[in-house]
C-alpha cells in the first residue's frame, strides 16, 4: 500500500502551506484590484479637471470677445449679428471695432460634423476673425471653411463638446432666436451655454459638464 507522508515545511504540513499560499494570493489580488481602481479613478479625476478647466478658458475667451464689443472704452461700434443656422451649423457673429483699428468680424460657429471620428459624431466649435471688408454678413455660405479649433486649443478638446447654445434675453423673455421685433435694438443680455461629455459610456461612465456665462449687452 502507498502512504502519503505528512511532510512538514518549517513546522507546517504541505496542505497547510498550500492553503496559506492560496489565501495570500487571493488577498494580494484583492489589494492589486483596489489599488488599480484607485489609480484609474485618480487619472479620470485629473482628466476631468483638466478638460473642464480648458473648456472654461475657451468660454471665457468668447465672453471676453463679447464684452469688448459692448465696452465703450474698447469698442468704436456695437454691432452684433446672429444667424440661427445653416445646414448643420449655428453661428454667433459680431463686429469688433477697437478704436483707431480696422473693424474685424468675429465668428463663433458650432458644427456637428458628419465625419466619423473614433466612432463618434464630431462636434466642433470654431472661431474665426476676418477683416470686415472681406465678409458679407448678409450672404454667408452654408458651410464656412474655418479651421476646426476651439479658440486656440487643439482639436482634441473640441471632440468633447456636445452642444453650444446662445440664448438672447430681454426684460421679460428668453429665446434662442434673435428678437426680430427689435431688429435694430440689442437684446438685454446673451447667455452662452456650453455642454461637454467627458469619459466613456463603457469604461466607468461619461460625465456631462455644463458651463455657462452671461454678458449684458446694454443696461
Residue whose C-alpha cell is 494570493: 25
How many residues does the structure list for the chain? 219
| 48 belongs to a structural domain | yes
pLDDT above 80 (res 211): yes
Domain count of the chain?
A: 1
Is the whole model's pTM more than 0.75, yes or no?
Answer: no
Summarize pLDDT for 18-66 with one digit per residue, the tens. 777 777 788 777 766 665 555 444 445 557 787 788 778 777 877 877 7
| 25 belongs to a structural domain | no
The H-assigned helical ranges of the chain are: 14-70, 155-158
- The parent domain of residue 123 ranges over 43-216
User: Could you tell me the pLDDT band of residue 95, with boundaries at 50, 70 and 90?
Assistant: low
| 90 belongs to a structural domain | yes
The DSSP 8-state label assigned to residue 98 in this structure reads: B
| 96 belongs to a structural domain | yes
Task: Classify residue 6 as exposed, middle or buried by CB count within 10 Å of its CB (0-12, 13-18, 19+).
Answer: exposed
Amino acid at each position: 500500500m502507498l502512504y502519503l507522508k505528512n511532510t512538514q515545511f518549517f513546522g507546517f504540513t504541505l496542505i497547510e502551506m498550500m492553503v496559506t499560499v492560496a489565501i495570500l494570493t487571493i488577498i494580494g489580488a484583492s489589494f492589486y484590484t483596489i489599488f488599480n481602481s484607485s489609480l484609474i479613478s485618480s487619472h479620470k479625476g485629473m482628466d476631468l479637471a483638466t478638460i473642464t478647466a480648458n473648456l472654461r478658458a475657451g468660454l471665457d475667451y468668447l465672453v471676453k470677445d463679447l464684452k469688448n464689443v459692448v465696452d465703450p472704452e474698447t469698442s468704436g461700434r456695437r454691432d452684433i449679428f446672429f444667424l440661427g443656422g445653416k445646414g448643420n451649423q449655428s453661428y454667433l457673429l459680431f463686429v469688433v471695432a477697437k478704436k483707431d483699428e480696422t473693424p474685424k468680424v468675429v465668428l463663433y460657429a458650432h458644427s456637428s460634423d458628419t465625419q466619423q471620428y473614433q466612432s463618434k459624431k464630431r462636434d466642433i466649435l470654431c472661431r474665426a476673425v476676418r477683416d470686415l471688408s472681406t465678409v458679407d454678413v448678409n450672404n454667408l455660405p452654408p458651410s464656412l471653411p474655418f479651421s476646426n479649433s476651439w479658440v486656440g486649443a487643439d482639436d482634441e478638446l473640441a471632440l468633447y463638446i456636445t452642444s453650444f447654445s446662445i440664448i438672447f434675453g430681454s426684460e421679460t423673455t428668453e429665446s434662442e432666436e434673435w428678437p426680430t421685433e427689435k431688429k435694430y435694438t440689442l437684446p438685454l443680455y446673451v447667455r452662452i451655454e456650453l455642454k461637454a461629455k467627458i469619459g466613456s459610456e463603457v469604461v466607468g461612465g461619461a460625465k456631462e459638464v455644463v458651463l455657462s456665462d452671461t454678458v449684458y449687452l446694454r443696461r
